[in-house]
Amino acid sequence: MKYSSYWHDTAPVFTAGQTGPVAGRVDVAVIGGGFTGLNAARKLAREGVSVALLEAGAVGSGASGRNGGHLNNGIAHGYASAKAHLGAERAHALYKAYDRSIDMIEDVIAEEGISCDFRRAGKLKLASKPSHVAGLRANFETIHAEVDAATRWIDRADLPSEVGSEAFHGGMLYEKTAMMHMGRYAHGLAEAAARHGALIWEQAPVTGRSRNGAGWLLETPKGTLQAERVILATGAYSGQHKGAKLGYFRRRIISVGSFIIATRPLTDAEMAQALPGDRTYVTSMNIGNYFRRSPDNRIIFGGRARFSARSDQQSDAKSGQILRRGFEEIFPQLADIELDYCWGGLVDMTQDRYPRAGEAEGMIYGMGFSGHGAQMTTLIGQTLADMAMGRTDTNPLAGMEWPPIPMHTGTPWFLPLVGQWFALKDRLS
């Protein structure tokens, strides 16, 4: 079994980056080479703006290449909860923004000729307990009536044609949801941004950030870059840029591990036993699971598993064992299937689990996607590019307050307590 991301392992290597020292002056510097930063750099370059991107590792090596491969429309929370928290108008607009971002992903793939196995599959949110059915169905009825007619309810009797498991009691289908190969999308975005003129340096963490007149000096181990404006797109991996003075963001972001396993390639008969509906799937537990079929016929199965801020081989292996047990409980008919991959990554959570995009500390930023970034980062990346060019009317998150998390300075010491709380809620629900 490989302790590495399936998306990284099965994607091309980006070779169009800069090989020389970091140097020069640009209109806009982007810190972070995931979907957010790459989309921002691509759009700026297409608009004729001089732009450079600095990535601490390899493009797509953070959360963009360490997720479950879902592009789920809709808000992570219950829609009624979003209305109560944000107000009906903003909740409606945010829901539609997730829809629009998936449309934008599809457009970018077509415009740039990116081969990444994108397809509209639909997401099925599954009731894990009989007691979850009423709440999930009420959420469906509100969403279907107010914001998304492309949804439908599936009773338990009809689930066998969708998922080969006796573990569920009904489900809500979101028909606009898609999936893709995350590593190939990241590679395609990077290639496109470079082709349009963006300068991309990998292995270039920002080790210093200081004012240079009206602009900025960004120091890296490979040299220094001058920029008039800076876009910050580092999310849960902000700690890799240790000298960039990102304390404001680290006090507002909780880095939480998310962990994933992938089976060996299954036969068509084995896959039909497990995922006959061939959708993306997510369970209704607080500490739940998500799963889908990969382009080469594996089941990719993930979840929080452990409330940890670490993702390394030791931590990933412990979480993989927990995920294996969860997989076998849902799909006992596949209990002996070999696993080929086990990996983890960090998710940039906000306290209320809503993303943020705006300006602070002299930088334009977008982060806090809270486990739903794969779908939203394309829209937000392009929004940040708009902001850098002086356009302020495309940000669906404009004006959202973002207070710091009490007693949090970047190291989430409270995660074990949060895990215990959610586990208790799951037992009592």
Residues 6 or more apart whose Cβ sits within 8 Å of residue 252 = 350, 351, 356, 368, 402, 403, 404, 405
Domains defined for the chain, CATH in brackets: 6-422 (3.50.50.60)
The Cα 384–Cα 403 span in angstroms is: 21
Tell me what pLDDT residue 415 has. Answer: 78
374-400 core/surface letters (b: 16 or more CB in 10 A; e: else): bbbbbbbbbbbbbbbbeeeebbbbeeb
Helix (H) or strand (E) holding 228: strand 223-232
Q: Which residue has the higher pLDDT, 76 or 316?
A: 316
How many Å from the N-terminal Cα to the C-terminal Cα in the chain?
Answer: 35
Provide DSSP, 271-333. HHHH-TT-SEEEESSTT-EEEEE-TTSPEEEEE--S--S--SHHHHHHHHHHHHHHHHHH-GG
Compute the average pLDDT of residues 272-292: 95
The per-residue pLDDT for range 11-68, each reduced to its tens digit, is 999 999 999 999 999 999 999 999 999 999 999 999 999 999 999 999 999 999 999 9
Among 21-30, 90-99, 407-416, which is the least confidently predicted range? 407-416
Which amino acid does the sequence have at 135? G
Tell me what pLDDT residue 34 has. Answer: 98
CA angle 111, 116, 120 (to 5 degrees): 85
Tell me what pLDDT residue 326 has. Answer: 95
The CA-atom distances, in angstroms, between 254 and each of 151, 234, 318, 321, 373 are 32, 13, 21, 24, 14
Residues 6 or more apart whose Cβ sits within 8 Å of residue 420 = none
Tell me what pLDDT residue 309 has. Answer: 67
Half-sphere exposure of 419 (CA within 13 A, CB side): 15
169: which 2 tokens?
Answer: 């009691």
- pLDDT of residue 77 exceeding 80, the answer is no
By CB atoms closer than 10 A (0-12, 13-18, 19+), residue 103 is middle
Compute the average pLDDT of residues 129-140: 96
The CA-atom distances, in angstroms, between 318 and each of 282, 344, 360 are 22, 11, 38
Which amino acid does the sequence have at 363? M
The per-residue pLDDT for range 197-207, each reduced to its tens digit, is 999 999 999 99
Q: Calculate the average pLDDT of the chain.
A: 94
- pLDDT of residue 338 exceeding 90, the answer is yes
- The structure's pTM equals 0.96
The Cα 89–Cα 425 span in angstroms is: 30
Cβ distance 299 to 291 under 8 Å?
A: yes
The per-residue pLDDT for range 154-164, each reduced to its tens digit, is 999 999 999 99
| Signed CA dihedral, 238, 239, 241, 247: sign only | positive
- Band (315; pLDDT cuts 50, 70, 90): confident
